[in-house]
């Protein structure tokens, strides 16, 4: 046993992907090699390239969104699928290949003591590697969310996450699609709903193409949007975990 | 104020109300979106029929030029309407998101069902 949360628990690896035809094959391959017993669900966020075909050829189950929804929308669909299909663990792995598949076991092992485990980049040094407004934004986000979650978090915008059954039920209904909604706001929602969040330091690979923008203007805009997202998330009404998701929820005419 | 101007004001306000009514009747405009347009049209009609009312209200509030009161009310109404539209847009986007997710999930389920069906047929 490789430290699963509970023996025999069903695990789903969710890979949100938008035009990732270059990286998706290796991501699915690595996930399938590391986690042969888990199911791998690639959520193709209305890609215009052959992301879906490549993922399917490498053995993943592919859910194709007919309209581009962003990571938040893709992940909520993933959580809904997991909830409906009775999965106990969902691990989010981004389709661009920056999340190391061999760390998935470690994240899942930590679920024994938590509902959400974040795979954090540069854990230990807040915002190391970033400067100016971007670093300030990281610091504000990390410190505010650490206080709400009552645990030390350094990387709140990481998409590499393992979630247990309670978090899956919560996220099937409440997973924001806005800016930073899938990372920062989701963490705020989870900790305010009483879920336990932990982080685990993870060495991430470089992005496969496309460097994050470092321009001062962009960084300042990012800072302002993060603060706004944080303020809104903190003042929203609390969400409760709720029962298991059913496939007709939200579509039943009342 | 000349008689032509008086009549012109009433006709313009009535025209707005008639257009709103026509759109409602044809189903182009839904009732809940038409409420504020209707309020605006009615206010315009009242002011057109009783211009003294505008002057009186302006004096009451302390607006020196009565026309400014019209501009203020009109702009406030437009801002509110615009906000309402943004809120409606958000709601509509949210519904599209939910529907998109459901369609994607149903699609995947149908696909999986078809595959098991094919497998069963192949075995027979």
pLDDT at B1 over 70: no
CB A179 within 8 A of CB A103: no
The confidence score (pLDDT) of residue A156 equals 85
What b/e sequence results for A42-60 when a residue is b if at least 16 CB atoms lie within 10 Å of its CB, and e otherwise? bbbbbbeeebbebbbebeb
Report chain B residues whose CB lies below 8 A from the CB of A64.
104, 107-108
Q: What is the mean pLDDT of residues B4-32?
A: 90
Residue A191 CA to residue A174 CA, distance in Å, equals 13
Pairing state between β A39-44 and A61-64: parallel
- Set of chain A residues whose Cβ sits within 8 Å of the Cβ of B105: 63, 77, 80-81, 84, 247
Task: Name the pTM for this structure.
Answer: 0.82
Gap between the Cα atoms of A217 and A70, Å rounded: 23
- What ipTM score was computed for the predicted complex, to two decimals? 0.80
| Over residues A27-33, mean pLDDT | 94
Comparing B81 with B122, the larger pLDDT belongs to: B81
Helix, coil or strand: residue A16: strand
Would the pLDDT of A183 be above 80? yes
Q: Report pLDDT for A181.
A: 79
> Which B-chain residues 94-113 have CB contacts (< 8 A) with chain A?
96-98, 100-105, 107-108, 112
Mutate to test the interface with B, among A18, A47, A63, A71 (most CBs of B within 10 A): A63
pLDDT of residue A5: 47
A77, A80, A86, A87: CA torsion to nearest 10: 50
- Percent of chain A whose pLDDT exceeds 70: 86
| Res A11 pLDDT > 60 | yes
Would you say residue A109 has pLDDT above 90?
Answer: yes
Contact assessment for residue A91 and residue A171, using Cβ atoms and an 8 Å cutoff: no
Contact A80 B105 (CB under 8 A): yes
- Give one word for A194, left, alpha or beta, with left for phi > 0 and alpha for psi -120 to 50: left
Residue in the block written with tokens 């992301």: A51
């Amino acid at each position: 046993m490789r430290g699963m949360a509970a023996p025999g628990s069903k695990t789903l690896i969710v890979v949100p992907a938008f035009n990732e035809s270059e990286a998706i094959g290796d991501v699915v391959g690595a996930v399938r090699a590391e986690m042969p017993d888990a199911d791998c669900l690639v959520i193709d966020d209305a890609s215009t390239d052959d992301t879906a075909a490549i993922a399917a050829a490498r053995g993943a189950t592919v859910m194709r969104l007919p309209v581009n929804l962003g990571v938040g929308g893709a992940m909520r669909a993933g959580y809904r699928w997991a909830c409906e299909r009775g999965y106990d663990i969902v691990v989010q792995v981004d389709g661009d290949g920056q999340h190391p598949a061999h760390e998935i076991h470690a994240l899942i092992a930590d679920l024994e003591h938590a509902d959400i485990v974040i795979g954090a980049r540069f854990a230990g040094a807040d915002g190391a590697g970033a400067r100016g407004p971007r670093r300030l934004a990281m610091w504000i986000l990390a410190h505010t969310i650490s206080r709400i979650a009552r645990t030390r978090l350094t990387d709140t915008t990481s998409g590499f996450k393992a979630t247990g059954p309670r978090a899956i039920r919560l996220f099937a209904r409440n997973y924001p699609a806005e800016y930073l909604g899938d990372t920062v706001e989701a963490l705020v929602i989870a900790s305010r709903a009483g879920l336990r969040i932990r982080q685990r330091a993870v060495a991430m690979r470089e992005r496969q193409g496309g460097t994050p923008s470092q321009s001062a203007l962009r960084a300042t805009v990012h800072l302002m949007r993060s603060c706004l997202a944080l303020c809104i998330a903190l003042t929203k009404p609390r969400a409760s975990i709720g029962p298991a998701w059913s496939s007709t929820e939200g579509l039943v005419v009342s | 104020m000349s008689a032509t101007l008086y009549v012109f004001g009433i006709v313009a306000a009535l025209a707005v109300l008639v257009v709103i009514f026509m759109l409602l009747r044809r189903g182009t405009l839904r009732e809940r979106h038409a409420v504020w347009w209707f309020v605006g049209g009615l206010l315009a009609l009242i002011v057109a029929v009783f211009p003294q009312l505008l002057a009186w209200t302006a004096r009451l509030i302390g607006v020196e030029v009565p026309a400014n009161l019209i501009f203020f009310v009109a702009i406030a109404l437009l801002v509110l309407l615009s906000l309402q539209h943004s809120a409606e847009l958000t709601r509509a986007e949210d519904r599209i998101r939910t529907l998109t997710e459901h369609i994607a999930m149903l699609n995947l389920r149908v696909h999986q069902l078809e595959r098991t069906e094919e497998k069963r047929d192949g075995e027979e």
